[in-house]
Amino acid sequence: MKRYLSVISLDDALALLDREFSKKPSVIQVPLENANGRITAEAIFAKYSVPEIHVSAMDGIAVVSAETNAASEQHPVTLPRAARVNTGNVVPPEYDAVIMIEDVWEKDGTYTIRKAAAPWQHVRPAGEDLAESEMVIPSCHRIRSHELGGLATYGITEVNTMTVRIGLVPTGSELVAHGTRPKPGQVVESNTVMAKAMLEEAGATCTRYPFVEDVPEKIRDAISMAVKENDIVVVSAGSSAGTKDYTESVIAGLGEVLVHGVAIRPGKPVIIGRIEKKPVIGLPGYPLSALTVLREIVLPCLKYYGLPVPQPAIVPAQITTAIAKEVGSDEFVLCSLGKIGGRWVLSPQSKGAGVQMAGIRANAYIKVPKTSEGFDAGSVVDARLMVPERESEQALLITGSHDPAIDYLCDLIRPVGVSLLSTHVGSMGGILALKKDQCHAAPTHLLADDGSYNTAYVKRYLPETVVNLVCIAERQQGIVSQDGLALSDLPGRSFINRQKGSGTRMLLDHELKKTGVDPSAIPGYEREVTTHIAVALAVRCGEADAGMCVYSAAKALGLPFVPVANERYELAFRQEHADDPRLVTLIEAIRSTAFKEILSRLGGYDTRETGRIRPGDG
Q: Which of 351, 318, 346, 319 is nearest to 333 (CA)?
A: 351
Which residue type does 301 have? C
Among 454, 497, 531, 585, binds its own copies (CB under 8 A): 531
Residues within window 546-565 making contact with its own copies, judged by CB under 8 A: 556-557
> Smallest distance, Å, CB 474 to its own copies?
22
Give CA–CA dist 463/465, Å, rounded. 6
Residues within window 188-217 making contact with its own copies, judged by CB under 8 A: 188-191, 193-194, 196-198, 200-201
Does position 584 bind its own copies by CB under 8 A?
Answer: no
Does position 597 bind its own copies by CB under 8 A?
Answer: no
Nearer to its own copies, 411 or 489 (CB): 411
Nearer to its own copies, 152 or 327 (CB): 152
Does position 533 bind its own copies by CB under 8 A?
Answer: yes
Tell me if 440 sits within 8 A of 453, measured CB to CB: no
Length of the chain: 618
Does position 7 bind its own copies by CB under 8 A?
Answer: no
What is the helix (H) or strand (E) element at residue 498, kind and residue range?
Answer: strand 495-498
Tell me if 75 sits within 8 A of 81, measured CB to CB: no
Among 9, 26, 89, 224, binds its own copies (CB under 8 A): 89
Residues within window 36-65 making contact with its own copies, judged by CB under 8 A: 36-37, 43, 47-50, 52-55, 57, 59
Nearer to its own copies, 131 or 466 (CB): 131
Among 80, 182, 316, 581, binds its own copies (CB under 8 A): 182
Tell me if 192 sits within 8 A of 236, measured CB to CB: yes
Does position 285 bind its own copies by CB under 8 A?
Answer: yes
Does position 541 bind its own copies by CB under 8 A?
Answer: yes
Q: Which of 493, 510, 408, 496 is nearest to 451 (CA)?
A: 510
Q: Where are the beta strands (DSSP E) in 311-418?
A: 314-319, 323-324, 330-340, 343-348, 364-368, 374-375, 380-385, 395-400
Residues within window 221-260 making contact with its own copies, judged by CB under 8 A: 240-245
Phi then psi for 117, rounded to 5 degrees?
A: -105, 135
Does position 79 bind its own copies by CB under 8 A?
Answer: no
DSSP string over 135-177: EEE-TT-B--TTHHHHHHHTT--EEEEEE-EEEEEEB-TTEE-
Among 283, 337, 506, 538, binds its own copies (CB under 8 A): 538
Residues within window 118-137 making contact with its own copies, judged by CB under 8 A: 119-120, 124-137
Q: Which of 95, 87, 89, 107 is nearest to 68 (CA)?
A: 95
> Smallest distance, Å, CB 140 to its own copies?
4
Does position 69 bind its own copies by CB under 8 A?
Answer: no
Does position 313 bind its own copies by CB under 8 A?
Answer: yes
DSSP string over 70-120: T--SSS-EE-S--EEE-TTPBPPTT--EEEEGGGEEEETTEEEESS---TT
Residues within window 394-413 making contact with its own copies, judged by CB under 8 A: 404, 407-408, 410-411
Among 75, 109, 146, 464, binds its own copies (CB under 8 A): 146
Residues within window 413-472 making contact with its own copies, judged by CB under 8 A: 414-415, 417, 420
Give CA–CA dist 393/448, Å, rounded. 36
